[in-house]
């Protein structure tokens, strides 16, 4: 079977952004205000121009208008039907042989000529902990006698993050200060154990009214799209501060997200069953259904790449240090949303959820250096001979994700990347 292709040359097979993807984003060009676009190959379609062109019918026109501004919150709030209509309209305009090619080409710009921005205004950010292999590995390091707490298999564990420090891919991450327990008395100093976390990000679409939970049946309709997410961690700060209330300064200094909102429609062919190991407890009734068991999961291949300052200077390519998958999510996205709202908590368009670190069970599949280095005991050796247990200044971490299946177009997420910068220097103890 021949897959439909776009007349945009860079959207050919092998691109992260073929005709079957069409993610949303926000960009700004020279002298332009931030505005909404759709990614196709190495180009972006400017939705403001498309709205004014008369090429769209309702409800695609309303969706494009909602997405044309400086943030995608208004589009997220509309829900699935207008978004699906706009996606179908764009595919008909961008498909090879489209009679509208010349008209649409006027609204294309190479992505290299614009600044790619954070796609939405984030009201709240919640970080989950649904990667069970990561939970076991980290638990064993912090609590050797009780690595996986008894509540883990009964509810999706989460904590509230800091929305103000979420940054788009390409924004540097500053090494944070914090209290380090190196001796009997703690020391205030830059972290020595800076780490990354490989996560799936979830953008919330339509919200819910206060006091009204979102059922598991309806949970997926509240997803506007997906991204990659790196919830940077200061492990030495975390070890000292996390009891009794969990992470605080060890996490809130920075979170990096990929800029492209991958729609649920693009990932629909890559849904998989949700299963549990034999002997594990069945979820409580509100977190379970036959339909959810049949196709509540996602099958995405995940990678983490590291490039040091020395590697960049030498022109060396980033080195893959971990490969994992969203198959390792013990709790699904739908279950995360249902649990989050089960007490009546209201979500809002543009809220962001993180899956938590998605590690696998095999060597080389851990989604953090804390796991890959076994708590700093074992170094990772890079191709140029450099070693790492935790991140050093100048290191660049890049996360990637791809949905692949024979006979289908590959759906990519683009990159979620940031370079570690040294802490700011001041004269007041910082």
Catalytic positions: 134
Torsional sign, CA 5, 116, 309, 252: negative
307 with 398: CB under 8 angstroms?
Answer: yes
Peptide bond into 59 cis (omega under 30): yes
The DSSP secondary-structure symbol of 282 reads: P
The DSSP secondary-structure symbol of 284 reads: P
Ramachandran quadrant class, 49 (left: phi over 0; alpha: psi -120 to 50; beta: rest): alpha
Q: What is the DSSP string of 154-219?
A: TS--EEE--GGGEEETT--EEPPEEEE-SSSS-EEEE-S-EE--EEEEEEE-S---TT-PPPHHHH
Question: How far apart are the C-alpha atoms of 58 and 62, rounded to whole Å?
Answer: 6
Question: How far apart are the C-alpha atoms of 395 and 384, rounded to whole Å?
Answer: 14
Task: Supply the Cα-derived Rg of the chain in whole angstroms.
Answer: 22
CA dist 308 → 158, 258, 313 (Å): 32, 20, 9
Element (H, E) at 288: none
CB-count exposure of residue 91 (10 Å: 0-12, 13-18, 19+): middle
């Amino acid at each position: 079977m021949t897959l439909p292709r776009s007349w945009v040359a860079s959207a050919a097979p092998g691109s992260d952004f073929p005709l079957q993807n069409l993610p949303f984003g926000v960009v700004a060009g020279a002298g332009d205000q931030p505005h909404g676009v759709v990614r196709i190959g190495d180009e972006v379609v400017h939705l403001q121009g498309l709205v004014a062109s008369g090429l769209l019918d309702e409800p695609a026109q309303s969706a494009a208008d909602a997405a044309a501004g400086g943030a995608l919150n208004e589009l997220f709030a509309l829900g699935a039907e207008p978004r699906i209509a706009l996606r179908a309209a764009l595919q008909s305009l961008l498909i090879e042989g489209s009679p509208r090619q010349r008209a649409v080409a006027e609204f294309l710009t190479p992505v290299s000529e614009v600044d790619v921005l954070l796609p939405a205004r984030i009201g709240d950010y919640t970080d989950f902990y649904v990667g069970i292999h990561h939970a076991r590995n980290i638990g064993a390091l912090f609590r050797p006698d009780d690595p996986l707490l008894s509540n883990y298999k009964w509810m999706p564990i989460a904590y509230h993050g800091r929305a103000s420090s979420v940054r788009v891919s390409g924004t540097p991450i500053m090494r944070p200060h914090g209290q380090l327990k190196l001796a009997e008395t703690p020391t205030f100093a830059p972290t020595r154990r800076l780490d990354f976390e490989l996560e799936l990000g979830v953008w919330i679409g339509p919200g819910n009214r206060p006091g009204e939970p979102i059922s598991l049946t309806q949970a997926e309709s509240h997803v506007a799209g997906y991204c990659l997410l790196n919830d940077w961690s200061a492990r030495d700060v975390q070890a000292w501060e996390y009891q009794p209330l969990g992470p605080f300064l060890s996490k809130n200094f920075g979170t990096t997200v990929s800029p492209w909102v991958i729609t649920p429609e693009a990932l629909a062919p890559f849904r998989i069953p949700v299963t549990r190991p034999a002997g594990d407890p069945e979820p409580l009734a509100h977190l379970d259904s036959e339909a959810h068991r049949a196709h509540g999961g996602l099958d995405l291949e995940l990678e983490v790449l590291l490039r040091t300052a020395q590697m960049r200077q030498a022109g060396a390519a980033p080195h893959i240090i971990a490969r994992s998958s969203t198959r390792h999510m013990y709790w699904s996205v739908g279950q995360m949303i249902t649990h989050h709202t089960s007490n009546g908590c209201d979500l809002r368009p543009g809220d962001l959820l993180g899956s938590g670190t998605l590690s696998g069970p095999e060597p080389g599949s851990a989604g953090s250096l804390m796991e890959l280095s076994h708590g700093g005991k074992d170094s990772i050796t890079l191709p140029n001979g450099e070693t790492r247990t935790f991140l050093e200044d100048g290191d660049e971490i890049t996360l990637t994700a791809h949905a692949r299946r024979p006979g289908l177009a590959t759906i990519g997420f683009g990159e979620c990347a940031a370079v570690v910068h040294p802490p700011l220097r001041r004269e007041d103890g910082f």
